[in-house]
Amino acid sequence: MAPYQSLEEYNLEITDEVRDRYASIIDEIGEDTTREGLLKTPERAAKAMLFLTQGYKQNAAEILKSAMFKESYNEMVIVKDIELYSLCEHHILPFFGKAHIAYIPNGHIVGLSKLPRIVDVFARRLQVQERLTKQILDCINDTLRPQGVAVVIEASHMCMMMRGVQKQNSVTTTSGFRGTFEKEETRNEFLKLISSDLS
Ligand SMILES: Nc1nc2c(ncn2[C@@H]2O[C@H](COP(=O)(O)OP(=O)(O)OP(=O)(O)O)[C@@H](O)[C@H]2O)c(=O)[nH]1
Ligand SMILES: [Zn+2]
């Protein structure tokens, strides 16, 4: 599978079906699907849903492999404050926040932009924050085979804000560490750097 399948192709395959189901839901909640403001809403909603779940059609390992370079740099590389938007698999409501990723190379570095790209690949699916964290971690570990890798995600969940328990300020933090980051000293250096403005 090509790492970037065009969204147009994807849409052509299934938009009609998703659109019709959105129309049924809008009808079921008591709205008039024929009023002007809603005429194109099922189609727009279907496109938005396909956009937000396009990660199923993308291959994160291929994206990383497309920009791996031999290099003898042996220090920590950190990309922090990567914005992420995902959908919780329980309510299909957004959760959003930041991902922080670090790795210590083992002969290869990776193009920096590829780290936010793989965050998007896994975030654009129905997710729980824990699995999202682990998938990013495992993908980097298995593909780049670094000396170590660390991922921290901080996110707010709309299903806890707009409905349910209705807590507006709670933030959920998940993390995962492999290889050298399992050592306390390395992990602490990473955690210190992501909480400073200087990293
Ligand atoms: N662990 C985890 N839980 C999540 C995530 N996103 C949403 N949830 C939780 O999934 C749970 C689903 O619980 P249920 O009791 O089946 O659903 P519910 O009746 O809608 O629960 P409330 O949100 O408490 O009203 C809730 O506690 C949500 O807060 C996530 O990324 N990770
Ligand atoms: Zn939820």
The model's pTM is: 0.92
State the sign of the Cα–Cα–Cα–Cα dihedral 42, 88, 170, 166.
Answer: positive
| 40 and 90 housed in the same domain | no
Question: Do residues 54 and 18 lie in contact, with contact meaning Cβ atoms separated by under 8 Å?
Answer: no
Provide the domain count of the chain: 2
Residue nearest atom 19 of ligand 1, based on CA coordinates: 164
| 80 and 30 housed in the same domain | no
Q: Where are the beta strands (DSSP E) in the chain?
A: 68-70, 77-88, 94-104, 108-110, 126-127, 148-157, 172-179
| 81 and 179 housed in the same domain | yes
- DSSP bridge partners of 96: 85, 156
Q: Would residue 100 show up in a list of annotated catalytic residues for this protein? A: no
| 89 and 165 housed in the same domain | yes
Q: Please tell me the predicted confidence (pLDDT) of residue 7.
A: 55
| 121 and 151 housed in the same domain | yes
| 71 and 161 housed in the same domain | yes
State the sign of the Cα–Cα–Cα–Cα dihedral 19, 53, 63, 194.
Answer: positive
Which residues have beta carbons under 5 A from ligand 2 (an ion)?
A: 88, 90-91, 159
| 78 and 131 housed in the same domain | yes
C-alpha 30 to ligand 1 mean position (Å)? 27
The answer as to whether 175 is a domain residue is: yes
Q: Please tell me the predicted confidence (pLDDT) of residue 196.
A: 82
Q: How confident is the model at residue 6 (pLDDT cuts 50, 70, 90)?
A: low
Cα–chain center distance at 196? 23
Q: Please tell me the predicted confidence (pLDDT) of residue 199.
A: 45
| 100-151 residue pLDDT tens | 999 999 999 999 999 999 999 999 999 999 999 999 999 999 999 999 999 9
How many residues in total does the chain contain? 199
Q: Please tell me the predicted confidence (pLDDT) of residue 8.
A: 57
Q: ipTM of the assembly?
A: 0.90
CB atoms within 10 A of CB 91: 16
Residue 125: give the domain boundaries: 62-197
| 45 and 70 housed in the same domain | no
C-alpha 88 to ligand 2 mean position (Å)? 5
| 79 and 168 housed in the same domain | yes
Q: At a CB cut-off of 8 Å and minimum separation 6, what does 144 contact?
A: 64, 68, 103, 105, 106, 108, 110
Measuring CA to CA, which residue among 57, 194, 38, 33 is closest to residue 120? 57
The answer as to whether 2 is a domain residue is: no
Average model confidence (pLDDT) across the chain: 93
Q: Would residue 88 show up in a list of annotated catalytic residues for this protein? A: yes
Percentage of the chain beyond pLDDT 70 is 92
The answer as to whether 1 is a domain residue is: no
